Amino acid sequence: MNKYNKISLKSLSVLCKLAEKEFLPIGCFSNKKLLKELVSDNAILLSTDTPKIIRILSLQVLFRYIKKANSLKVDNTEELKSYLAFESETKVKSKDEITVYKETTKDDISESFYGIHIAVTKNTDVIQDNKIITLEPMNSGSYFFFQKNMITIPIDTVVVGIENPQVLWLIERYKHLFVDYEKVVFVLINDYKCGYIYSHWLKTIRGKYIHFGDFDLSGVSIYYNKVLPKIKSSQFAEFFLPDFVFPLLAKKGNTRDFDNQIEHLDGLKKINNERLRGLICHIEHHEKSLEQEYLSILHIASYLNLED
């Protein structure tokens, strides 16, 4: 059994200071289990002084432990400082960058798909790394930007958040819904590996934001509880809800999703947006919900001829 347990960045920072100064008060070290292991390994020594002091017994043994525990390529204090500075950077770290400091990246959570997926239906400008680039429509696909923190949407461009990946990739089938807007970009807003979208990138939106998701309790909850709190800097935000959705949901909606999402209902009734409350009441009344895919051009007849 491997006795080397992975060391947190916080503990590594303390060990770095210890290696640099050669002693520290014991109160600086909160990980008592690690402290005990390092003492057992003869890397450090606990003094009997009052207050107690941690002293370096062997830098070689200490760095051997650090390398084994975290698969790091560090042999001295300066290299450990460099690694800690690298980890403190907020940018996305590619695996080739990580291998500068680590023996293996197998134990690291990959951020390879944590970027931004964007689609357009006509040539549209965005800003990448402070430079204007023009996105062109793609057939059954979308752009993926790995360095997501470098993508900015101009203030005069509407951002449409899309919940379901296939809707984004087949956005040509939904462009009829947004013909009133001259400049539009469609961005994937989805729980799967899109945590950055919620926590960081949404805050950069300065123009109008439209949330295009499923017309169900879960879709409203995602917009109201996850997205809306993050886009306070936008000029205007709304849940995409055309009038025809109400009769379409009553006619074509399904009951399964409503049954699976009923736990959201009480919390959503507190929403003070009249339009959204109307949708919630409509969903509750019919005990049905409607997937956004029903608004595809393939189903356009469904809402033009609801009486059929």
Please tell me the distance from the alpha carbon of residue 107 to that of residue 6, in angstroms, as a whole number: 10
Q: How many CB atoms are located within 10 Å of the residue 181 CB?
A: 12
Instruction: Give the pLDDT confidence score for residue 2 in this predicted structure.
Output: 45
Instruction: Report the alpha-carbon angle 189-220-166, nearest 5.
Output: 40
Q: What DSSP designation does 225 have? A: I
Please tell me the distance from the alpha carbon of residue 35 to that of residue 7, in angstroms, as a whole number: 11
Please tell me the distance from the alpha carbon of residue 151 to that of residue 147, in angstroms, as a whole number: 8
Q: Do domains 9-98 and 116-304 have the same CATH topology?
A: no
Q: Which residue has the tokens 């062109």?
A: 136
Note the pLDDT tens digit of each residue in 183-220.
999 999 876 555 556 567 888 888 999 999 999 999 99
Instruction: Give the pLDDT confidence score for residue 300 in this predicted structure.
Output: 62
Instruction: Give the pLDDT confidence score for residue 272 in this predicted structure.
Output: 86
Residue 256's Cβ-side half-sphere holds a number of Cα atoms within 13 Å equal to 2
Buried b (16+ CB within 10 A) or exposed e, 221-250: bbbbebbbebbeebeebebbbeeebbebbe
When the candidates are 1.10.10, 3.30.1120, 2.60.40, 3.30.70, the CATH number that belongs to 9-98 is 1.10.10
Please tell me the distance from the alpha carbon of residue 305 to that of residue 244, in angstroms, as a whole number: 11
**What is the number of H-type helices and E-type strands within the chain?**
13, 12
CATH 3.40.1360 assigned to domain 116-304? The reply is: yes
Q: Evaluate if pTM is beyond 0.85.
A: no
Q: Hey, what amino acid is at 155?
A: I
Q: Hey, what amino acid is at 306?
A: L
CB-CB contact of 120 with 109 (8 Å): no
**272: exposed, middle or buried (Cβ count in 10 Å: 0-12, 13-18, 19+):** exposed
Please tell me the distance from the alpha carbon of residue 177 to that of residue 189, in angstroms, as a whole number: 18
Please tell me the distance from the alpha carbon of residue 220 to that of residue 225, in angstroms, as a whole number: 8
Domain spans in the chain, listed from the N-terminal domain onward: 9-98, 116-304
CB-CB contact of 214 with 161 (8 Å): no
Note the pLDDT tens digit of each residue in 36-83.
899 988 999 988 777 788 989 899 999 999 988 888 888 899 989 988
Please tell me the distance from the alpha carbon of residue 278 to that of residue 139, in angstroms, as a whole number: 36
- Size of the chain, expressed as the number of residues it contains: 308
Q: 275: helix, coil or strand?
A: helix
Please tell me the distance from the alpha carbon of residue 148 to that of residue 106, in angstroms, as a whole number: 23
Please tell me the distance from the alpha carbon of residue 170 to that of residue 142, in angstroms, as a whole number: 9
Q: How many CB atoms are located within 10 Å of the residue 42 CB?
A: 11
Instruction: Give the pLDDT confidence score for residue 308 in this predicted structure.
Output: 46
Q: Strand 143-145 and strand 23-25: pairing?
A: unpaired
Q: Which residues of the chain have pLDDT under 70?
A: 1-3, 89-114, 147-150, 191-199, 298-308
Beta bridge partners of 208: 236
Instruction: Give the pLDDT confidence score for residue 5 in this predicted structure.
Output: 82
Q: 206: helix, coil or strand?
A: coil
